[in-house]
Amino acid sequence: MSIGDQLEGFFLLQDAYAKTTMGGKPFLSMVLSDCTGTIDAQIWDYTGPITPKDDGAVVKIRGTVSEFKGTLQITVDRLRLADSNDQYNISDLVPTAPIDVEATWQKLQEIVDTIEDQDYMVICKEMLSRFGEKVKNIPAAKSIHHSFLNGLLMHTTYMLQTADFLAGMYESVIDRSLLIAGTLLHDFAKCEEFTTSPLGLVTDYSKKGQLLGHLVMGAHEVANVASEMHVPEEKSVLLQHLILSHHGEPEFGAAVQPMCAESELLSFVDMIDSRMEIYRETLEEVPAGEFSKRIFALDRRIYHHN
């Protein structure tokens, strides 16, 4: 898009915020997206019918590309919800993971099948039977990284491959079965933490997601499954610990700090994969030889070298 472009078409309403100008006039601030990315948009002197409750819906807009503080945005003139008579391709609107979904899903299962400890294996298999389809399809986040369909599958499988390699390198201190099980299950509760749109993208956090978070919810679910499967308490507690500590430090959302080698390694594997994905997504939009804008999750700009 270039400044001054006139456009009309369908977008995903990723976020909407009802606001008021300094002069007291209402307007709707939006984040619109399609499979190529996101852009901010505003429609002035607007009171509805579209509201923040329509987050995740498909909208049709007519507007003009403008600029604000060096960033492109859309000034919208007309806005409405898409209806059943409209013709558009969902695949043009919803970003999806840059992976072969079925091959990646098979890879995940192949790694899980190599878990030698039968107690950890039985927990993983039961959790996959309960949550596997959601894990395969949902995003891994609302915005920061892997926020596209099949994002959680991509994130989890890449982490499993990294964890598998590092478990071999540090086999003298790592219980591979525990590490692989914790890596598989570390984000499973995002299935219940998020609320999603009809198209499958994350629109908000559920009540339990906000009050408890996926670390606590995930540890609780694992504890229940371990009890049902008569897994020894020590193994159940260790697996719960990996889930509760995988964000590394309390300031990054960890319920507890890592206190065993497997939890320490899992927290680094999670950070590696999430940060590399942030780089990948950012560098796609930054020309070679230039710096990005400041990235909130990294608290810095990054350079796209030739």
- DSSP string for 108-160: HHHHHTT---HHHHHHHHHHHHHHHHHHHHS-S-SSSSS-SBTHHHHHHHHHH
Q: Are residues 75 and 122 in the same domain?
A: no
Domain membership flag for residue 120: yes
When the pLDDT of each residue in the chain is averaged and rounded to a whole number, the result is 94
Residues in Cβ contact with 33 at an 8 Å cutoff, skipping those fewer than 6 apart:
11, 12, 14, 39, 93, 95
* Domain around 39: 6-92
- 27 and 124 share one domain: no
Q: In which band, very low, low, confident or very high, does the pLDDT at 180 lie, cut at 50, 70 and 90? A: very high
pTM of the model: 0.78
- Highest mean predicted confidence (pLDDT) among 43-47, 118-122, 295-299: 118-122
Could you tell me if 117 and 261 lie in one domain?
yes
Q: Where is pLDDT greater, at 210 or 90?
A: 210
In angstroms, what CA-CA distances link 20 with 62, 63, 69? 22, 20, 19
Task: Please determine, for residue 257, whether its predicted confidence score (pLDDT) is greater than 80.
Answer: yes
Domain boundary at 67, 92, 117, which?
92
Q: Is the pLDDT of residue 77 over 90?
A: yes
Q: Residue 299: inside a domain, yes or no?
A: no
Q: State the residue for tokens 């294996």.
A: 121
What torsion, rounded to 10 degrees, do the Cα atoms 191, 195, 201, 202 define? Answer: -90
Residues 180 and 125 in one domain: yes
Q: What is the pLDDT of residue 204?
A: 87
Residue 287: CB atoms within 10 Å: 8
Determine the average pLDDT of the residues in 190-210.
89
- Total structural domains within the chain: 2
- Domain end (from 43, 65, 92): 92
Same domain, 100 and 87: no
Q: How confident is the model at residue 215 (pLDDT cuts 50, 70, 90)?
A: very high
Residue 233 has pLDDT above 90, yes or no: yes
- Residue 41 shares a structural domain with residue 126: no
> Would you place residue 80 in the very low, low, confident or very high pLDDT band (cuts 50, 70, 90)?
very high
Average pLDDT over residues 97-116: 97
Residue 144: give its domain's CATH number.
1.10.3210
**Do 182 and 257 fall into the same domain?**
yes
What pLDDT sits at residue 208?
Answer: 95
User: Of the given ranges (125-129, 139-143, 220-224), which has the lowest mean pLDDT?
Assistant: 139-143
In this prediction, residue 129 carries a pLDDT of 97
The answer to whether residue 128 sits within a structural domain is: yes
In a domain, 300, yes or no: no
SS3 helix, strand, coil % of the chain, rounded to 5? Answer: 45, 20, 35
Domain match, 180 and 121 both: yes
On whether residue 291 sits in a domain, the answer given is no
Q: Has residue 5 got a pLDDT over 90?
A: yes
Q: In which band, very low, low, confident or very high, does the pLDDT at 261 lie, cut at 50, 70 and 90?
A: very high
Residues 116 and 257 in one domain: yes
Residue 290 maps to a domain: no
Q: What percent of the chain has pLDDT over 90?
A: 81
Based on the domain organization, do 113 and 138 belong to the same domain?
yes
pLDDT band at 199 (very low <50, low <70, confident <90, very high): confident
Q: At 157, list the tokens.
A: 């499988």
Mean pLDDT of 51-63: 91
Q: What pLDDT is attached to residue 295?
A: 92
What CATH number did the domain enclosing 32 receive? 2.40.50.140
For residue 214, the surrounding DSSP H or E stretch is: helix 213-228
Give yes or no: residues 128 and 209 share one domain. Answer: yes
Question: Are residue 82 and residue 137 in the same domain, yes or no?
Answer: no
Residue at 211 is within a domain: yes
- 52 in any annotated domain: yes
